[in-house]
Amino acid sequence: MPETSYHMSPDEFRRWGKAVIDWIAGYLERIDSFPVLSSVEPGQLRAALPPAPPAEGEPFGRILADVDKLILPGITHWQSPNFFAFFPANASGPAILGELLAAGLGVQGMLWATSPAATELETHVLDWLVGMLALPEKFLSTREGGGVIQDTASSATLCALLAARERSTGFASNRRGTDGRLVAYGSSETHSALLKAVKIAGLGEENLRLVGVDERFAMRPDALASAIEQDRRAGKMPCFVCATVGTTSSQAIDPVAEIGRLCQQHGMWLHVDAAMCGTAALCPEFRWIHQGLELADSYCFNPHKWMFTNFDCDCFWVADRKALIRTLSVLPEYLRNPATESGKVFDYRDWQIPLGRRFRSLKLWFVIRHYGLEGLRHHIREHVRLAQEFATWVAQDDQFELAAPAPLNLVCFRHCAGDAFNQALLDRLNASGNLYLTQTRLDRRFTLRLCVGQTHTQARHVEQAWHHIRKEAAALQASAADRILRRSEGPGD
Ligand SMILES: Cc1ncc(COP(=O)(O)O)c(C=O)c1O
């Protein structure tokens, strides 16, 4: 009697695998045609789904048809060339195929021994990236440092803070807990991932200092120095600074060299978060953003933001891998193996919070090999050029103003008519489906952000965005003028 099996057969897999690839290719080909922002109501998808799962398996074709019918309307199209919101999470053909292969191999690479290729490819690609971004050589795995792929920049910040906590307490707080004396520093523009890390690492929210910024929204080293002095005088132990190369609000670049010198003076760990902007350093002309990085203890950037590598992929380097490993390593009997015991291999479970890990380096390797350094540089330069062009249009229009310097591919701007007008303008633009922008507050004023970083964004998309922005602003002004006119004429009879 044949054994009962509900599994997908290899032939079915081949057939539907090809259908899914065709589906993705078709989706990406027509992605311009979708309203960028999903307009479903809360609960709409759940109301359309059956209350209970199927007792019997369903044909795969029916499942795929439901993706079109049920899922697509609830998708905000991050891969649309008209997506200018937040920072991008861009993707590309080679990265998607790398993800697929990683899924096909189904590797869980927690230890070198659980798939040597997964570990060694990761180490190698991260060493390549040290050269590609001209990072300090101390981050190389062939020196005292090394790189590891984290899921996100938030995890990188947390790992860095934990290692800093341990280094500054002689690796004792892991055993005894912190005594409330350790202090971490960022700026008022640092990503909220730092606050989360401080909470998780047990420093306590009251031991996070968010120091002031200058007129370019970059951390003020003098403010940092006085915060450190004040804490020292109060008997605290300053242990960690997170500097940002490209803040989330406005892409401000903190003065890493001056911050680094303060860290050295006070024996503090310097982590540099370049989640979005690090990619720019592929191009020699943008490497100024990393000035002072030789003073950092750790550094991260997200290929999943701007380097055409599907989410999730954050590259994180430390200058002294021993500090990180000593902080995060635990070795139960069931994980013991000869390779680990030999001391000749990296076990990346010791470089991150979870035990298990995906084979993420495959997609990164595919991207780097597909584009080559010159291909990557070409597209990054083009994004920066388009953003700079947009900034010029804003600066030349007397209805609009730039709200911050635009060093790379993010433009912060606003209409001169004030906060309520800008909020209404943003709402109209996003409701139109033609593009997606998000907002921030700079100097307490409502500010629109336009980031050019989507894989397929071209000049025409940025031109159309500017056209829509001006058109909606004019329409909004006309309706406001109309309202005022009607009010001044008073109620008719
Ligand atoms: C500067 C910076 N740091 C950290 C993050 C958090 O990124 P992730 O989602 O990778 O944790 C962001 C997200 O936009 C960011 O801009």
Domain ranges of the chain: 10-33+38-75, 107-358, 368-489
| Residue-level pLDDT at 86 | 97
| Residue-level pLDDT at 176 | 74
Determine whether the shortest distance from the Cβ of 194 to ligand 1 is under 6 A: no
Q: Are 426 and 439 in contact (CB under 8 A)?
A: yes
Give the β-pairing of 298-301 and 314-318: antiparallel
**Predicted TM-score of the model (pTM):** 0.96
Residue type, 329: S
Q: Which residue has the tokens 């109501």?
A: 41
pLDDT at 106 over 50: yes
Distance (Å, rounded) from C-alpha 340 to C-alpha 331? 10
Ligand 1 centroid, distance to 302 Cα (angstroms): 8
Distances (CA, A) of 112 to 76, 124, 147, 324: 38, 13, 15, 17
Ligand 1 centroid, distance to 314 Cα (angstroms): 10
What tokens appear for 143 in the block?
Answer: 């020196």
CATH of 10-33+38-75, one of 3.60.150.10, 1.10.510.10, 1.20.1340.10, 3.60.21.10: 1.20.1340.10
Q: Which residue has the tokens 């035990």?
A: 355
Of all protein residues, whose CA lies closest to atom 7 belonging to ligand 1? 153
- The CA-based dihedral angle spanning residues 124, 128, 133, 139, taken in that order and rounded to the nearest 10 degrees: 50
In sequence order, the β-bridge partners of residue 209 are: 185
Distance (Å, rounded) from C-alpha 458 to C-alpha 379? 10
**pLDDT tens string 217-230:** 999 999 999 999 99
Give 219: exposed, middle or buried? Use CB within 10 Å, 0-12, 13-18, 19+: buried
In sequence order, the β-bridge partners of residue 245 are: 253
pLDDT band at residue 485 using 50, 70 and 90 as cut-offs: low
Within 8 A by CB and 6+ apart from 457, the residues are: 81, 82, 83, 84, 383, 386
Coil, strand or helix: which one is 243?
A: strand
- Select the more confidently predicted residue: 2 or 167: 167
Report the pLDDT averaged over residues 340-357: 97
CA angle 273, 242, 83 (to 5 degrees): 35
Q: Which of 86, 196, 276 to mutate to test the pocket of ligand 1 (most atoms within 8 A of CB)?
A: 276
pLDDT band at residue 179 using 50, 70 and 90 as cut-offs: confident
pLDDT at 450 over 80: yes
Give 59: exposed, middle or buried? Use CB within 10 Å, 0-12, 13-18, 19+: exposed
Query: In ligand 1, which atom is closest to the CA atom of 86?
Result: 14
pLDDT at 335 over 90: yes
Determine whether the shortest distance from the Cβ of 191 to ligand 1 is under 6 A: yes
Determine whether the shortest distance from the Cβ of 390 to ligand 1 is under 6 A: no
Sheet-wide strand order for 269-273: 146-150, 314-318, 298-301, 269-273, 237-244, 182-187, 208-211
Report the pLDDT averaged over residues 197-216: 97
- Helix, strand, coil percentages (3-state) for the chain, rounded to 5, are 50, 15, 35
Distance (Å, rounded) from C-alpha 486 to C-alpha 480? 10
Q: Are 349 and 357 in contact (CB under 8 A)?
A: yes
CA angle 384, 190, 349 (to 5 degrees): 95
Determine whether the shortest distance from the Cβ of 422 to ligand 1 is under 6 A: no
Whether 10-33+38-75 shares its CATH topology with 107-358 is answered: no
Q: How many CA atoms lie within 13 A of 429 on its CB side?
A: 29
**pLDDT tens string 474-484:** 999 998 777 77
Report the pLDDT averaged over residues 489-493: 55
CATH fold of 107-358, please? Aspartate Aminotransferase; domain 2 (3.40.640)
Distance (Å, rounded) from C-alpha 290 to C-alpha 87? 19
| Count of C-beta atoms within a 10 Å radius of residue 78 | 17
CATH 3.40.50.1460 corresponds to the domain 368-489: no
